[in-house]
Amino acid sequence: MVEILTHAGCFIGIILLGWALRRVGFFKESDFHVLSKIVIKITLTAAIVTNFSGREMQTSMLLLTLMGFGFGVLMMIVGSVMYLPQGRERQAFAMLNASGCNIGNFAMPFAQGFLGPVGVIAVSLFDCGNSMICLGGAYSIASIVKSGDGKFRIKPILNNLVHSIPLMTYIFMTILGLLHLSLPAPVVEFAGIVGNANAFMAMLMIGVGFHLNGDPSQIGDIIKILGVRYIIGIALALA
């Protein structure tokens, strides 16, 4: 227990370090976007490759992908119902903010630190389904609700999915695992060195980009939506 708390404390410390460095001028706000690109396109991708390598996959594990997609759909429905009396625009707002999970930037470093390779694989498979919601699915449905035109556009969603490097890496490594194939050892070793930086870079990035602003009504919406997400998430985890 002490080890877990220490590990979590280190992550929080890195976030605070990023925030402090931005406050003293070491980082600029624009640096957040650079750090984000490094994390998403390089260190996270390398971490996925490392943790999937040499792991045989079972087809039953693909259910985690359906769970990720299903949770996103469920939360969109919940968000829509929560704000149903407040008009289409508020419904769309709730659907966007209630659905989807920040797996790559936030959850993956914790999975790396606390759960090991098997945990990273499970989280990655969940994120495959979750990505379909985050990378355009929720936005497209929310746009339909807001405008009321009923036009569902699949092309922008597919374009976002295909250009998501982590998602394509998930899929590629999952296929290799199902076929009982592996990447060459030098590739895995290189990915391991790069992937080891993912937790630090992701937490630092969060700290650099951390801001608290908004009017009281927005803070109320955030608390309301987060509260519902936590309640449903805990209930599903215990089920």
Q: Which residues contact 67 (CB under 8 A, 6 or more apart)?
A: 126, 129
Split into its structural domains, the chain has a count of 1
Residue 96 in this model has a pLDDT that exceeds 70: yes
1 pLDDT higher than 70: no
Token pair 């990655």 in the structure block, residue: 124
Asked if 44 and 196 touch (Cβ cutoff 8 Å), the reply is no
The rounded distance, in Å, linking the Cα atoms of 22 and 29 is 7
pLDDT in tens, 21-52: 999 999 988 899 999 999 989 998 998 898 88
Percent helix, strand, coil in the chain, to 5, is: 80, 0, 20
Q: Does 59 fall in a domain?
A: yes
Whole domain around residue 165: which residue ranges? 30-198
Query: Does the residue 48 lie in any domain?
Result: yes
Position 136 scores a pLDDT of 74
19 inside domain: no
Residue 226 located in a structural domain: no
pLDDT value at 163 more than 90: no
pLDDT of residue 4 exceeding 80: no
**Whole-model pTM?**
0.76
Most confident region among 121-125, 128-132, 172-176, 203-207 by mean pLDDT: 203-207
Which of 145, 162, 25, 153 shows the shortest CA–CA distance to 89? 145
pLDDT band at 193, cuts 50/70/90?
very high
Is there a domain that residue 217 lies in? no
Residue 209 lies in a domain: no
Residue 169 neighbours by CB under 8 Å, 6+ apart: 45, 48, 49
156: pLDDT confidence band, cut at 50, 70 and 90?
confident
Whether 40 is covered by a domain: the verdict is yes
The verdict on residue 101 lying in a domain is: yes
Name the band, by pLDDT with cuts 50, 70 and 90, for residue 178: confident
pLDDT of residue 134: 81
Residue 111 has pLDDT above 90, yes or no: no
| Nearest CA among 2, 51, 25, 27 for reference residue 199 | 51
The residue ranges of DSSP E strands in the chain, in sequence order, are none
Q: What pLDDT was estimated at residue 186?
A: 93
Please give the C-alpha separations between residue 41 and each of 26, 38, 100, in angstroms, as whole numbers. Answer: 23, 6, 20
pLDDT band at 205 (very low <50, low <70, confident <90, very high): very high
The CA-based angle 217-36-115, given to 5 degrees, is 90
